[in-house]
Amino acid sequence: MKNKNVYRIRHSVTGLYKKAGSYSAWGVRGKIWNGSGPIKLHLNQYAQIGRDGSFTYPGDMQYWIIEEIEIKEEIITRQPALDIMADKAKKIRDKVEAAQRERKEQDIKKQEALAKLSSADRKALGLYYDT
């Protein structure tokens, strides 16, 4: 399989990586650009063109390092798509069942607490009506 090169920008002083968009956005992981063209477009966002056609860049851009990373495509595992969906469905079912059990337990505790209240307390809470 064909190898692929991707790019990212590292600030050599801080060691952080450039995020997409804002000039001041730097982070531990940063953005990965999928080609040299897109990263050049990103860098050109910071260029300021003078009336005489000269270019100026932000002061700390001198510390920006472009890292080219080679990604080797290699199949590690193969799994049927339906198996993955079945695993997801099981996780959702388990969560729903756990929530239902918790709700039942809460309802039982609420009923037990209400049973312990006197009729005066029930009237005060608006839980008891004389007919």
Give tens-digit pLDDT for 82-127. Answer: 888 888 888 899 999 999 999 999 999 988 887 888 777 777 777 6
Which residue has 């851009």 as its token pair? Answer: 61
The reported pLDDT for the residue numbered 22 is 62
The reported pLDDT for the residue numbered 59 is 76
- Evaluate whether 15 touches 29 at the Cβ level (below 8 Å): no
How does 106-122 read in b/e, with b if 16+ C-beta sit within 10 Å? eeeeeeeeeeeeeeeee
Q: Is the pLDDT of residue 129 over 60?
A: no
The reported pLDDT for the residue numbered 80 is 84
- Could you count the other beta carbons within 10 Å of the beta carbon of residue 71? 12
Q: What are phi and psi of 3, to 5 degrees?
A: -80, 155
Residues 29 and 12: their CA atoms lie apart, in Å, by: 14
Residues 32 and 28: their CA atoms lie apart, in Å, by: 12
In sequence order, the 6+-apart residues with CB closer than 8 A to the CB of 26 are: 11, 14, 16, 17, 18, 19
Neighbour-count burial of 26, counting CB atoms closer than 10 A to its CB (0-12 exposed, 13-18 middle, 19+ buried): middle
pLDDT digits (tens, 9 = 90+) for 28-77: 999 999 999 998 888 888 777 777 877 777 778 889 999 999 998 888 88
* Tokens of residue 29, six digits: 């992981």
